[in-house]
Structure 1
């Protein structure tokens, strides 16, 4: 009697818990807008899946959520890329931007806004920002003389470059950070007094706004070394493709000012009554952290606008621990991988193996291993075994039978069910910290336990009530796991929950923290229609082949 009382009190504790959450009034998350000088690659998709996953979690918490992404379509590189193909530059941009949108749609990226920097709305926002900065005396005519990196479209200080010899023993100057070539330029531009914001930038960085924090110290050191005035324009004869400086058509607005303002465009600025600014999180790659953690907040300070609440800076994807590049022939085509692994499968792999802090290594064989092991074997197999006609002839999701549970299941094994209702709090912390691999680790651990319990008690050898007790635990594990994994694998979660007979209005935060079917043995519900295995097993890859499409 004592054991029964203790365990039921423990279970009811989770049943009655409201798990009150301190939730924001809204959540606005962004990705970078992607530069249209090349086709989309797996790194672009990773940024969007990461942001989409967290955005979906906040929707799960029933927070009004906004998610923006888009394409960066101005600048010298875009103009040159179009010229090489003998295409009008706007048509080039239209075609390539559509490829990004098509990729994201296929990958189930549920964005609210797709910003294109060639759109009239964005151009109006940029012009408004320019005029406001100018009216505050923060844009002045000047001249720039120094290094310029065409591939990064960035002005570079002397301490950021070095001299190297190429294969012909000729000397050339490159950026220390990435080896990209730089050239010496001298031109009249409009300038922004970046140094005026030194102290405020340091104070802002001290609030731990950047995650992970390892990027904060190098940025602070760079700021303290002395910020130069920042060029906000290029002469139009050097950069023909961009937004003209208001009142000065011989100048084009610098592409990076144009680009970061996209976040205000997505927030419907300057229509302040409808604006959702500030951003709760900017998701960016580590190669553009300086633009987002120094230039962008300085512009916002100059505009007297609130600063973003977080900048999530993630690392890159490599192949065989080498940077992806066309010359190496190791660029991973995300559209091809979506065809091979499905949207849910590829999303799952990227979220399981992707790292915020360290560069990740893409591997097709590893992708197949993750999908087969976790989604096919662990999740899919438990669902299939527990809903099969032989073991579950009535095709029901049995309700909780406390008497059989207490008499059949050992005290140690009861934890399998009890621990399911701890998942919600655990994964909520991980989602909000962008530790999506920890979400997966937590959920899979509970599914491993449920599979082991199923195998240990062999429900096919038990009487009907005992069998249904074990089936309840197994199906409850699938239900809770799929609710927790919805942001990562939305289609597969939906398919599994439909098979369990879980309605759309039973898939929110309150449902993940409360046990289902607790009203007694006769409260079982019917399963949904069987539509085949959750996911077909993928064939094991042979040798890694990242740059060629699979044949028919």
Structure 2
């Protein structure tokens, strides 16, 4: 949900209309059995679980436009219409047909597996021998039943041709190789009903209530439901509104359903295919897949309470990966929080906006920039190269960030912001504006405000670009810099693009009580109940001379500045 939310907000930041649907898939054997185990009707069971996901979306500041439940009445209508098209619209031999099916069925994955896709295994908790899907590790059972079939095997050539014509349709590209291999070697006709006698928790065939429509057909159609299918437009409509989707965001365990079944079903009824699939990997705990039975599941609501919403969003996007599973650990989050949020972003903001005695201000610095800096005075400074050292980073970082975001490389985009602000912290350390405040000569004051303005500009650019990832913290940062709301769009995220921001001096004192209170009022305050890590672990530092500062964040910031100098 966070990944999709960031992609939606990124499009909006670029001035593009964007709509985001999420929700809960509520039908199927797995739900039916789980409800029975809890001793309650399936709908009541789903009501409880759906409410939890909706609450989680709210807690994580997910800006969804639609929260669909596959038990919704409009979705049932969409599935029924789609189903009738599958039966009646395709050319001869490409529509549904009746037959008998038997094979290994996985309730938790809600799909059949071929003989070479299952293996004998032992459940570690009980020692019971069983058969399990090799792909997911979930238990399978042998099932034989009368069913309606979708002739998936006859769509093989069409699917392969589509993949050839759209080689970047799936991100990452290695998932496309997996999909092609499956289509070339494992494609079979798809059983798309279950006997109502065995599965009654689902949408029935509108012409034969003794059959229940396969849960994945039901679930996949939800994308079209909220794009207006069967309510605002039909298969034959020229104007299909929001359809097709620009992107589906999915987990690696359901790529087959979205990259094989779904496009074939859309081809069958004559609807356009989604333009892209983004397939993310899984979070693990101690290098093992999170599992309730193993007791290594992270409660996301507890995590949001511990780390706050935006820092957790930042971590998930920073450490998320399309190439491998990702490790979730409080120690790793603490490292990112202290190094990148407190010491890099927060400390830079403190250094330029909350200054003891009001020695400078971002407002005054921007006013100097409005008048224009006399480059002769800047270039004649004793350490002129230090004064000019931030310029290339201000020029390049916004473009690099945009390129990474457009390529859906969230981690790479965040890395660009980290590098920009690391260089800005290094820039302040090297130019030492605090040594210039007593000299009131115009030349020295110009140099002082050159330093503050360019540091503030780095923060301003970073704040604009971070809005999709950390909406609330980015807004707090931009408010603290005095950036007007209408100047927070992508066109202003460039060096020197805004000369109408800044705030008056924000005074602080040296009193210990005030300093103690200030840390809790900072952009990224301490995290209660979380033990700080060794500084070397936080900064991955081993060779630099230790800082003399008594303040831990100042020491971490200085180490980051030393790393930035080497970079």
TM-score (norm 2): 0.83
Alignment of 1:287 onto 2:276: no
C-alpha spacing 1:254/1:497, structure 2 compared with 1 (3 Å): same
Alignment of 1:433 onto 2:440: no
Q: Distance in 1 between matches of 2:413 and 2:357?
A: 31
C-alpha spacing 1:84/1:132, structure 2 compared with 1 (3 Å): same
Alignment of 1:144 onto 2:101: yes
- Please say if residues 386 and 392 of structure 1, whose CA atoms lie closer than 8 Å, have aligned partners that are also in contact: no
Partner of 1:102: 55
CA displacement at 1:413 relative to structure 2? 4.1
Partner of 1:537: 526
- Please say if residues 163 and 173 of structure 1, whose CA atoms lie closer than 8 Å, have aligned partners that are also in contact: yes
CA displacement at 1:328 relative to structure 2? 1.6
Question: In the TM superposition, what whole-angstrom CA distance separates every residue of 1:288-342 from its partner, at most 9, and x where no partner exists?
Answer: 0111110000001111111111111111110110111112211011100100001
Q: Distance in 1 between matches of 2:412 and 2:386?
A: 24
CA displacement at 1:360 relative to structure 2? 0.4
- Please say if residues 198 and 223 of structure 1, whose CA atoms lie closer than 8 Å, have aligned partners that are also in contact: yes
- Please say if residues 421 and 515 of structure 1, whose CA atoms lie closer than 8 Å, have aligned partners that are also in contact: no
Q: 1:118 aligns with which of 71, 79, 82?
A: 71
Which secondary structure does the structure 2 equivalent of 1:488 belong to? coil
Alignment of 1:483 onto 2:454: no
C-alpha spacing 1:517/1:189, structure 2 compared with 1 (3 Å): closer
C-alpha spacing 1:252/1:517, structure 2 compared with 1 (3 Å): closer
CA displacement at 1:383 relative to structure 2? 0.7
CA displacement at 1:541 relative to structure 2? 3.8
- Please say if residues 498 and 529 of structure 1, whose CA atoms lie closer than 8 Å, have aligned partners that are also in contact: no
Q: 1:346 aligns with which of 312, 318, 322?
A: 312
Partner of 2:512: none
Question: In the TM superposition, what whole-angstrom CA distance separates every residue of 1:338-390 from its partner, at most 9, and x where no partner exists?
Answer: 00001101001111111111000001011111011111111111111101242
Which secondary structure does the structure 2 equivalent of 1:329 belong to? coil
Q: 1:265 aligns with which of 200, 225, 228?
A: 225
Q: Distance in 1 between matches of 2:326 and 2:208?
A: 45
Alignment of 1:238 onto 2:198: yes
Partner of 1:402: 373
RMSD: 2.2
C-alpha spacing 1:527/1:117, structure 2 compared with 1 (3 Å): farther
Question: In the TM superposition, what whole-angstrom CA distance separates every residue of 1:10-43 from its partner, at most 9, and x where no partner exists?
Answer: xxxxxxxxxxxxxxxxxxxxxxxxxxxxxxxxxx
Question: In the TM superposition, what whole-angstrom CA distance separates every residue of 1:397-423 from its partner, at most 9, and x where no partner exists?
Answer: 322242254444624542413421322
Q: Distance in 2 between matches of 1:511 and 1:543?
A: 37
CA displacement at 1:528 relative to structure 2? 9.7
C-alpha spacing 1:194/1:410, structure 2 compared with 1 (3 Å): same
Q: 2:41 aligns with which of 88, 112, 130?
A: 88
Alignment of 1:218 onto 2:178: yes
C-alpha spacing 1:445/1:118, structure 2 compared with 1 (3 Å): same
Question: Displaced runs of 4+ in structure 1, greater than 6 A?
Answer: 167-170, 528-531
Partner of 1:229: 189
Partner of 1:164: 121
CA displacement at 1:456 relative to structure 2? 1.6
Partner of 1:380: 346
* Larger deviation, residues 525-534 vs 49-58: 525-534
Q: How many residues were matched structurally? A: 493
1:1-16 alignment to 2 at 5 Å? none
Q: Choose between structure 1 and 2 for higher RCO, CA contacts under 8 A separated by at least 6 residues.
A: 1
- Please say if residues 141 and 190 of structure 1, whose CA atoms lie closer than 8 Å, have aligned partners that are also in contact: yes
TM-score (norm 1): 0.85
* Larger deviation, residues 131-140 vs 328-337: 131-140
Alignment of 1:200 onto 2:158: yes
CA displacement at 1:510 relative to structure 2? 1.3
Partner of 2:536: none
Q: Distance in 2 between matches of 1:386 and 1:264?
A: 50
Q: 1:503 aligns with which of 484, 499, 502?
A: 484
- Please say if residues 171 and 279 of structure 2, whose CA atoms lie closer than 8 Å, have aligned partners that are also in contact: yes
Partner of 2:397: 423
Structure 2 gap ranges (5+):
234-238, 440-444, 508-517, 534-567
Q: Distance in 2 between matches of 1:499 and 1:541?
A: 27
1:247-396 alignment to 2 at 5 Å? 247-270=207-230, 271-272=232-233, 273=239, 275-390=241-356, 392-393=358-359, 395-396=361-362
Rg: which structure is higher?
A: 2
Which secondary structure does the structure 2 equivalent of 1:66 belong to? coil
Structure 1 gap ranges (5+):
1-47, 545-552
Which secondary structure does the structure 1 equivalent of 2:321 belong to? coil
Alignment of 1:185 onto 2:143: yes
C-alpha spacing 1:165/1:497, structure 2 compared with 1 (3 Å): closer
